[in-house]
């Protein structure tokens, strides 16, 4: 039996290790930038969705108030007070998305070769805040019991060491916690889509009847430019629902990318799939910019 000299074996081993670990740092950077892009896009989209829900409620309020006495109108206004609760819930979800953005920014900093302790401290405080925001959201009434149940039964990721010690330490501490926050994002966005779909339909039906159809049929359009702009906004609003569906997909892909990164699945097909997923998250971020413009 022929043995390789120790030096040659070590060189072979190191080059193999390098092949996988040198890919890890750019990989971490890419994942971090996709996470940042996702968080920013989700925040913008939830903000737009919040406006849609409030507008739908106002459109219903106006429509349901027709023909009512002042007293009945007051009672109706009180019945619609619950919208404030939904706004508060959506603000919590936006905060969660913003903290996710900051977490991935901090993770990107950790991936830098010149890691300092400040970066480590920063990621700790962001992760703690993210976890608190996630706990506040996990009891959301928007989630179905099945979704709440699924969130409580998280899987366990097996962390593989990364070249950067700081990154390895971070993944070992929080791989499962971040996985849970990403699953929470997806569940909340799915729940939001179900609600917003009907709100948008109401805005379109009630609003276009009030602002578009009636003024047109009765020939009482005072400002034609404003009427044209309003008609455009009614016709284009369904794009927000599509964007919410893309956001939920993007959250799911970001979670897969996170799991693949944590578990060190760097074989060629997994790497290609991950790159494609990350590209689609960035494409989602672009589509949100267009939808919320």
Partner 1 sequence: MSARSEMLDLLREKVRAPIEKHAGEILESFGGDKERAAAFQKARADLDSMIERLEEDELKGLRKELDAHAAELNDAIKALQSSLSKVKDAETAARVFWRVVGIAARIIALA
- Residue 209 touches partner 1, criterion: CB under 8 A: yes
- Residue 141 touches partner 1, criterion: CB under 8 A: yes
- Residue 152 touches partner 1, criterion: CB under 8 A: no
How many contiguous H segments (helices) and E segments (strands) does the chain have? Answer: 10, 0
- Residue 68 touches partner 1, criterion: CB under 8 A: yes
- Residue 214 touches partner 1, criterion: CB under 8 A: yes
Question: Which CB atom, from 74 or from 286, has the smaller least distance to partner 1?
Answer: 74
- Residue 206 touches partner 1, criterion: CB under 8 A: yes
**For residues 206 and 258, is the Cβ–Cβ distance under 8 A?**
no
Which of 41, 32, 42 lies closest to 286 in space, CA to CA? 41
* Span from 104-112, 171-179, 200-208, 224-232 in contact with partner 1 (CB under 8 A): 200-208
Nearest distance, CB of residue 189 and partner 1, angstroms: 16
Determine the Cα–Cα distance for residues 14 and 260; give it in Å rounded to an integer: 22
Determine the Cα–Cα distance for residues 94 and 126; give it in Å rounded to an integer: 15
Nearest distance, CB of residue 14 and partner 1, angstroms: 56
* Span from 159-167, 190-198, 257-265, 276-284 in contact with partner 1 (CB under 8 A): 190-198
- Residue 142 touches partner 1, criterion: CB under 8 A: yes
3-state secondary structure 148-182: HHHHHCCCCCCCCCCCCHHHHHHHHHHHHHHHHHH
Question: Which CB atom, from 162 or from 188, has the smaller least distance to partner 1?
Answer: 188
**For residues 138 and 150, is the Cβ–Cβ distance under 8 A?**
no
Question: Which CB atom, from 202 or from 292, has the smaller least distance to partner 1?
Answer: 202
Helix (H, G, I), strand (E, B) or coil at 137: helix
Whole-number CA gyration radius for the chain: 25
* Span from 62-70, 154-162, 222-230, 276-284 in contact with partner 1 (CB under 8 A): 62-70
Determine the Cα–Cα distance for residues 241 and 100; give it in Å rounded to an integer: 22
Write out the residues near partner 1 by the rule CB under 8 A: 60, 63-69, 72, 76, 79-80, 82, 141-142, 144-146, 194-195, 198, 201-202, 205-206, 209, 214
């Amino acid at each position: 039996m022929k043995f390789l000299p120790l030096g040659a074996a070590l060189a072979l081993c190191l080059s193999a290790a390098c092949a996988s670990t040198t890919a890890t740092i750019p990989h971490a950077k890419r994942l971090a930038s996709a996470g940042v892009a996702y968080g920013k896009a989700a925040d913008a989209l939830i903000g737009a969705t919040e406006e849609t829900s409030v507008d739908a409620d106002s459109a219903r309020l106006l429509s349901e108030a027709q023909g009512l006495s002042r007293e009945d109108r007051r009672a109706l206004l009180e019945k619609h007070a619950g919208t404030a609760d939904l706004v508060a819930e959506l603000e919590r979800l936006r905060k969660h998305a913003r903290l996710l953005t900051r977490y991935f920014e901090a993770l990107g900093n950790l991936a830098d070769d010149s890691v300092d302790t400040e970066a480590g401290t920063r990621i700790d405080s962001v992760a703690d805040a993210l976890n608190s925001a996630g706990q506040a959201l996990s009891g959301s009434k928007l989630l179905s019991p099945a979704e709440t149940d699924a969130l409580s039964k998280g899987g366990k990721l097996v962390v593989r060491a990364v070249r950067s010690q700081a990154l390895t330490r971070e993944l070992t501490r929080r791989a499962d916690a971040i996985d849970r926050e990403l699953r929470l994002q997806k569940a909340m966005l799915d729940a939001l889509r179900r609600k917003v779909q009907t709100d948008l339909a109401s805005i379109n039906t009630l609003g276009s009847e009030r602002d578009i159809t009636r003024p047109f049929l009765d020939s009482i359009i005072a400002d034609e430019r404003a009427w044209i702009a309003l008609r455009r906004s009614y016709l284009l609003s369904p794009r927000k629902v599509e964007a919410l569906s893309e956001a939920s997909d993007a959250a799911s892909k970001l979670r897969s990318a996170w799991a693949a990164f944590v578990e060190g699945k760097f074989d060629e097909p997994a790497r290609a799939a991950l790159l494609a997923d990350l590209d689609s998250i960035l494409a989602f971020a672009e589509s949100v910019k267009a939808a919320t413009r």
